Structure 1
Amino acid sequence: MNQNTTFAPWADPNAKPLITFDNVTKRYGTFTAIEKMNLSIYPREFFALLGPSGCGKTTLMRMLGGFEEVSEGTITIDGQNMKGIPANKRAVNMMFQSYALFPHLTVADNLAFGLKRSDMPKSEIDGRVEEMLRLVQLQKFAKRKPHQLSGGQRQRVALARALAKAPKLLLLDEPLGALDKKLRQETQFELMDIQEKTGTTFVIVTHDQEEAMTMASRIAVMDHGNLIQVDTPDRVYEAPNSVYVADFIGDVNIIEGTVARLENDEAELSWAEGQPSIRALAGSGIDKGASAAFAIRPEKVAIATEDPTDRHNRVQGHVEDIAYLGNISTYYVRLENGTLIKAQTANNRRIARRNITWKDKVWLSWTDTAGIVLQR
């Protein structure tokens, strides 16, 4: 995360948002893409819109950029109502996945192109281009054409061009989608660094959870035109507000049952005949006797050959499969009632956990605060 612990304007009632969506709805004929959305995004945020294809995140971004009209409600940027204001009159720039660089122009000329058509004095343009080249560390490539650059370098040219006019807001539509995994991970940290240096508010659209978790100050998880949860990455991961969010972000075990007991912040889930109840944190909105689901991350589940008698939450099964991923191993354990639970361990030794293999009888256990009971 690029923001330090004191950066949390959303927690300050006196902080003024840069962007507000007030009951924003977007319809295409009879289809509603976005429904009565309320959202505030603050200056200097790196804000991620995350969700599956068709959830409305790109529509939301296009309305911000001025490429789509709002059907109902109001979008304001820096206190100004955006109704009727075209894309080229907004203090907003957009960086597309395709980068859309001019192939016949050099890197420097690509950066200068928009500046020459702005109200920036001609005497300042060369200096601004040089500043942008320094920002993305491409000074040596100023005279090259886009086809002479790698994918990562073209991505940085597109970013520099989008930032050249110093927009208050930069919209990034799946900006790292064309890069391979290793380069994508490196570029995530470059983007965070550049965002921090410029102080520009970034809003990124992505379907990549890891990307959002790495870069964003806050994440908006979307589904069918609605905001399901808007929170910091750690809260979205550790305290999802629904089964949908728990299932969408990262890897998770979901066990369905009935709330047998509810006391303060703790819940007890009755889930299978002959199995002990599960004790866990209580999510919001659950009631005693109601159907609910227990969500726990695989890395919070311990695996052992001996019965961990000091824990209430413990179940027995046999190892059905093992996925070795180098730094971690995931054990797929089938319980006696047929439930499959994943347990993950870090391979912090050269030859780790060789004592557990396929078909072995094992115990899985977790603490009372490792998972959360959520409303179905």
Structure 2
Amino acid sequence: MSQTVFAPWTDPAAKPLIRFKNVTKRFGTFTAIEELTLDIYEREFFALLGPSGCGKTTMMRMLAGFEDPTEGSIELAGEDIVKVPPNQRAVNMMFQSYALFPHLTVRDNIAFGLKRERKPRDEVDARVEEMLRLVQLQPFASRKPHQISGGQRQRVALARSLAKAPKLLLLDEPLGALDKKLREETQFELMDIQEKTGTTFVIVTHDQEEAMTVASRIAVMKDGALMQVATPSQIYENPNSRYVAGFIGDVTILEGKATKLGDAYEVRWAEGQPPLRAKSTLDLADGAECQLAIRPEKVEIHGEKPSDDNVLQGKVIDIGYLGNISTYHVELANGQIIRAQNFNTERDTRRAFTWDDNVWVNWTENCAVLLDH
């Protein structure tokens, strides 16, 4: 039986849980966020992604109530929360450091916020047990934070943040302290917990893979502005700018001039190199400057010249072996490097191509993304 796709942002009648409206934030003469408008919907796992200093943490701090916008408004469930104190917002925040109390047990750390609200003891105990089951830490309930692993401490912090059933949970680089393998495992745990609780998660991260794995949508940020807000697949397959294409994943960018040819464009990009073709919905004037973005997994590598479009000849100058894939760096006659990836589907360690081999690379006209900025 088919399931309904979760995409409230495509429904004009859907009301967002969070709404940034023309928000600007200045620190003295420095503008961290400028005229930013963004909607985030209930039950989303939303990622703010960008390099250090792009404004993503400032956005999160404004949602938490630790910073006020200089201009504009921020709404939560239809209410302007700019003047609402942090402790009165239906928002909780999980910090990168986890901020657990070292002298309290796992159980008491999770119960801390509930006890401060003077909830009845049986209600607190029931909620803590529910949270322990959710994060699978029942056997560790009586231990102190120093007696459990980093991944378990991360789950304690998550359980404590969710114990008060906030409408919104903010996660500030929550997996940054974990090693790569544990971080990857925890990403899926986070997704599972978010789906089970139905809580809206907003995560701040500079890790592209993390954002692509966990998020329903990603906002790619630069210098206090939103460059693109879309699903992970849209961001990756259809970036709207050179910046987004280069920020998410590996990519080769070729600069050239476009000429319309039917439902595609011909791109003349280098003296002595054949023109390339790309399908695009962009409306470019003939001779307009453009860029072609090509992902390495879309590029095929051959020992003999194929009879296809977008065929270029070069020499293998570098090979990166990552177990499941090998990345070939192919240098063309004009010095341009094209990256091509092959999946290593067999255990044979001999490669089809090696250093200094003369090869041909190609891709279909549907695989390259045409960009105008």
For residues 220 and 262 of structure 1, do their structure 2 counterparts lie closer, same or farther at Cα, with a shift above 3 Å needed? farther
Question: Which residue among 311, 314, 323 is the counterpart of 2:311?
Answer: 314
Distance in 2 (alpha carbons) for counterparts of 1:263 and 1:31: 47
TM-superposed CA distance for 1:191, in Å, is 0.2
Structure 1 residue 6: deviation in Å?
Answer: 1.1
1:83 Cα deviation from its structure 2 partner: 1.9
Give the equivalent residue in structure 1 for 2:233: 234
Query: What is the root-mean-square deviation of aligned Cα atoms in Å?
Result: 1.2
1:161 alignment counterpart: 160
Work out whether residues 94 and 171 of structure 2, in 8 Å CA contact, stay in contact via their aligned partners in 1. yes
Partner of 1:363: 360
Distance 1:156 1:169, change over 3 A: same
For 1:229-269, what per-residue CA distance to the aligned partner results, in whole angstroms no more than 9, with x for missing partners? 000000000000000000000000101111122644x2221
- Counterpart amino acid of residue 176 in structure 1: L
Correspondence 1:348 to 2:345? yes
Determine the C-alpha separation between the residues in 1 that align with 2:329 and 2:14.
47
Q: TM-score, normalised by structure 2?
A: 0.97
Contact 1:316/1:335 (8 A) holds in 2: yes
What SS does the corresponding residue of 2:287 show, helix, strand or coil? coil
Distance of 2:44 and 2:73 partners within structure 1: 21
Q: Unpaired segments of 5 or more residues in structure 1? A: none
Report what 1:297 is aligned to. 295
Identify if the C-alpha distance between structure 1 residues 282 and 74 changes in structure 2 by more than 3 Å, giving closer, same or farther.
same
- Partner of 1:13, secondary structure, is coil
- For 1:337, the equivalent position in structure 2 comes to 334
Query: Does 2:225 correspond to 1:243?
Result: no
Q: SS where residue 176 of structure 1 aligns? A: coil
1:125-164 matched pairs, under 5 angstroms? 125-164=124-163
What amino acid is the match of 2:274? P
Q: How does 1:213-224 map to 2 (within 5 A)?
A: 213-224=212-223
Match runs of 1:14-163 below 5 Å: 14-118=13-117, 120-163=119-162
Give how far 1:120 is off: 2.9
**Residue aligned with 1:147, SS:** helix
Could you tell me how far 1:288 is from its partner in structure 2? Answer: 2.5
Give the superposition deviation at 1:354.
Answer: 2.1
CA shift in 2, pair 1:295/1:202, >3 Å: same
Rounded Cα–Cα distance in structure 1 between residues aligned with 2:265 and 2:13? 35
Which string of whole-angstrom CA distances, capped at 9 and with x for unpartnered residues, describes residues 293-332 of structure 1?
10010000000101111x1110000000111111000000
* Displaced runs of 4 or more, over 6 A: none
Q: What is the SS of the residue equivalent to 1:362?
A: strand
**How far apart, CA to CA, are the structure 2 residues paired with 1:122 and 1:13?**
44
Seen in structure 2, the aligned counterparts of structure 1 residues 35 and 283 have a Cα distance that, compared at 3 Å, is farther
Residues 226, 52 of structure 1: CA spacing in aligned structure 2 closer, same or farther, 3 A cutoff?
Answer: same
Residue 207 of structure 1: aligned partner: 206
Aligned CA distance change for structure 1 residues 127 and 17 (closer, same or farther; 3 Å): same
Shift, 1:94, TM fit: 0.1
Conserved in 1, the CA contact under 8 Å of 2:278 and 2:366?
yes
Q: SS at the partner of 1:14?
A: coil
Deviations 1:133-177 (A, max 9, x none): 000000000000000010000000000000000000000000000
Q: Is the 8 A contact 2:259 2:285 kept in 1?
A: no
Identity fraction in percent: 68
Determine whether 1:280 maps to 2:282: no
CA distance in 2, matches of 1:204, 1:363: 42
1:352, CA displacement in angstroms?
6.0
Corresponding residue SS for 1:114: helix
- The answer for unaligned runs of 5 or more in structure 2 is none
Normalising by structure 1, what TM-score? 0.97
State the one-letter code of the partner of 1:278. Answer: L
